[in-house]
A and B are shown apart, each in its own frame.
Chain A
């Protein structure tokens, strides 16, 4: 099991550590040459979505990444990664996301909540986080809500969370993602 982690900017090392703990191999994607290796899945980490989007474009990665996801490459996007997947950015997931939805850093918080298919006690850390304002197609379903806001969703092999599973010791979400990747036909 080989997972690519987008390493343009942000906290990608934390994802690599979690995936490696679960026995997966990881490699960093910093430019087009890195992208050309075979992979079973892709992680879009947190960071600043404006920075990541710009670098994807400048490094010629935007189209290849977008096409691979549309062809069915399993992908996990957290926080900025969820923004990248959403409508108006890569647009592979039919969700509309509000950036900095909880305001500035003083609005960042930690909680525990239910995620469908994962458990009732999933730790959730929100750092200048977005949430999902609207789901735009029936094949995309919300997986979690916090205070009435949608904070996780899945559409086919695309999994997006507004919070940061890579920051807590709980490995269930990454495990769920690896299972998705394992059951998927390998996409080159």
Chain B
């Protein structure tokens, strides 16, 4: 029964493939996102750029606010809980959230342990910046992985590094002989069975999205070309000049990520992109939370 739930939850993530998941803070933004073609929304009180600006401890959003967004749209609604915060996750499950993001964007509640996600019926997505992290999260029960990137910066460089690293580590496992996999599992600090799955299938056993710093249609197309199966856009949309148009353009860019001519059209007249900050300018690297 538990396995069947895991399987159904992995399958929901597959349904989101080739799609864009957008951060929203109000029912109004959620409707704009849905109309623009988001395949799911992430409900949160503050988008990462504002969390970064505000500083302090950042926690799970008010369930009432999340409910408002659930009522506003018909697409799946996700919400974030702090790393290791079992109770926040239980609360999100109680309000029947479609997906929980155990996220480094919020302040971690536990510096050592992630949530044992196999104990939940509701599915989890987790961030990872390399293959070892991804496989550890999957072992804990995550049914979807995203790159960590560096959220709230509008700078795609970290998402690119994480995706490239993960893909090259996957290729390395594929090329290994079977007797080398035991040592590889030891080095990756990941369960042997999952390492073997990657060796045999050339991919993670769950869907892998890009996240953190995606701000333009070109950013989204870049991540898809690097092997992402879909894209999260956080601050990039509602921190920009024309959210509606930018959101719709990013959705189309993910579908036709290899058509440069169309991407050129989509990139026209989008208004001002989010200003963004370089990773060197920020004091807090969220990607270093939860390993």
- Nearest residue, chain A, Cβ from B17: A11
Interface residues of B in 61-115 (CB under 8 A from A): 74-76, 93, 96-99
CB-defined interface of A18-43 with B at 8 Å, one 1/0 digit per residue? Answer: 00000000000011000000000000
Contact of B278 with A by CB under 8 A? no
Q: How far is the CA of A59 from the CA of B255 in the complex (A)?
A: 10
B12, A47: Cβ atoms closer than 8 Å: no
Q: Is A108 an interface residue (CB 8 A)?
A: yes
> Contact at B4–A11, with CB atoms within 8 Å?
no
Task: Bin the interface of chain A by size.
Answer: 35 or more
Q: Cα distance A31–B255 when bound, in Å?
A: 9
Is residue A110 contacting chain B, with contact meaning CB distance below 8 A? yes
Interface majority SS on A: helix, strand, loop or mixed?
Answer: loop
Binds B, one of A65-73, A99-107, A147-155: A99-107
Q: Is there an interface contact between B12 and A128, defined as CB atoms closer than 8 Å?
A: yes
Contact between A10 and B19, CB atoms less than 8 A apart: yes
A31 to B97, CA, bound (A): 33
Q: A31-B256, A104-B98 are in contact. Are A9 and B19 (CB under 8 A)?
A: yes
Question: Bound complex: CA of A183 vs CA of B74, how far in Å?
Answer: 38
Say whether A121 faces chain B, with CB atoms less than 8 Å apart: no
Q: Which residues of B contact A99 (CB under 8 A)?
A: 74
In Å, the complex CA distance between A54 and B38 comes to: 10
Chain B residue contacts of A10, Cβ below 8 A: 15-19, 39
Q: How far does the Cβ of A106 sit from chain B's closest Cβ, in whole Å?
A: 6
Q: Does B260 contact A (CB under 8 A)?
A: no
Q: Within 8 Å CB of A132, what residues of B? A: none
- Whether A103 touches B96, Cβ cut-off 8 Å, given contacts A31-B262, A110-B4, A164-B11, is yes
Chain B residues with Cβ under 8 A from A164's Cβ?
11
Once bound together, how far apart are the Cα atoms of A14 and B4, in whole Å?
19
- Interface check A48, CB cutoff 8 A: yes
Q: Give residues in B with beta carbon < 8 Å to A.
A: 4, 7-9, 11-12, 14-19, 34-40, 74-76, 93, 96-99, 121-123, 248, 251-252, 254-256, 259, 262
A-side residues, CB < 8 A to B, are: 7-14, 30-31, 46-48, 50-51, 54-55, 58-59, 79-80, 99-100, 103-106, 108-110, 125, 127-128, 164, 167
User: Beyond A48-B15, A127-B8: 10 further Cβ-contacts under 8 Å?
Assistant: A10-B16, A47-B39, A55-B251, A58-B252, A104-B96, A104-B97, A105-B12, A105-B76, A108-B8, A125-B11
- Write 16 A-B pairs (CB below 8 A) sorted by A numbering: A9-B17, A10-B18, A30-B256, A30-B259, A47-B19, A51-B39, A54-B36, A54-B37, A55-B37, A55-B252, A55-B255, A59-B256, A104-B98, A108-B8, A108-B11, A110-B8
